[in-house]
Amino acid sequence: MTERPAAPAHGGRGGAVDLSALRPPFGPEEAARRAEARGALYFAEHQLRRLRSYAGTVLGVGVGTPVLYLLAMGIGLAGLVDDAAGPGLGVPYLHFVAPALLVSAAMMAGAEENSYTVMAGFKWQRLYLAARATPLSAGQLAAGHTLAASARYLLTSGVYYGVLLLFGAVPQPATGWLLVPLGVLAGNAFGLPVMAFAARLTEDRGEFALLQRLVVVPLFLFSGTFFPLSALPAALQWLGWVSPLWHATQLGRVLAYGLAEPAWLTVLHVACLAALAVTGWLLARRAYARRLDA
């Protein structure tokens, strides 16, 4: 199919105006082919452009939260804990709590990006329905959302890690930098199951508020974030073993200051986080397909 050459237009003063720059660079067939091949990246780009509308909030929280927590925990509470516990933790309290705060920030970002944002895409703003009317598939929309959310986890973890370095909270930076990709893994290990849950909801009747109060906050408090899991009563220690935050926190401590633990347990941390992320992704993609292809 040959393209028709652009016709010159005449300006107001009788001069010719070249409109060739207004010609689409490729036809609809090529546009559809590119969308089929790169649809997830296109939708991720759209989501990241949308994220710019509240980028100030994301950066403010990303910088302000670690500074405030580290001032409170690493300088304020740490002095009391170090004096009371002595060598009980094996490391200064600042080093103990810092990796937990980083992965907690990623987990909370995962809860935020995959709850109300997903509901808005299906119901309030209907962004997914509009995008599905193009050659983009339901799977590409799910993948694009996940890529954009992962970019936020990367930014959050990177800023947090930079603040930790300024506070001297990472004694082994040779491996400590791996806290940044760990934050991305932790965000997806928690966020993707939330995404699958949100994609199945047709109405918000308080489910996300309950998720925050009954899941996110208890995990933050009882996953070894501020004290070792062994300090909990034996009847509650199982919460840590099923918590993605505990596995991410322990793995972060291994990377940040060389927490001594068996090699099999370190492998188990990685396996549990990866299994949660993969399972959540498969369920989320299936929910998107059912919702958008019905």
Model confidence over 255-271: pLDDT tens digits?
999 998 999 999 999 99
Has residue 84 been placed in a domain? yes
Summary mean pLDDT of the chain: 84
As for how many domains the chain has, the answer is: 1
User: 289, 118, 291: which is closest to 192 by C-alpha?
Assistant: 118
Has residue 22 been placed in a domain? no
User: 216, 210, 225: which is closest to 191 by C-alpha?
Assistant: 216
Q: H-type helices in 70-133, by residue range?
A: 78-85, 93-113, 116-119, 127-132
pTM for the whole structure: 0.84
- Structural domain boundaries enclosing 45: 39-292
For the stretch 84-138, pLDDT in tens is: 554 556 788 888 989 999 999 999 899 989 999 999 999 988 999 998 988 889 9
Has residue 214 been placed in a domain? yes
Least confidently predicted of 5-14, 215-224, 233-242: 5-14
Cα dist. 181→39, 68, 104, 168, 187 in Å? Answer: 24, 23, 14, 20, 10
Has residue 156 been placed in a domain? yes
Has residue 226 been placed in a domain? yes
Least confidently predicted of 75-84, 119-128, 209-218, 222-231: 75-84
Has residue 15 been placed in a domain? no
For the stretch 6-59, pLDDT in tens is: 555 555 555 566 656 666 676 667 666 766 668 889 899 988 888 877 777 777
Has residue 144 been placed in a domain? yes
Has residue 62 been placed in a domain? yes
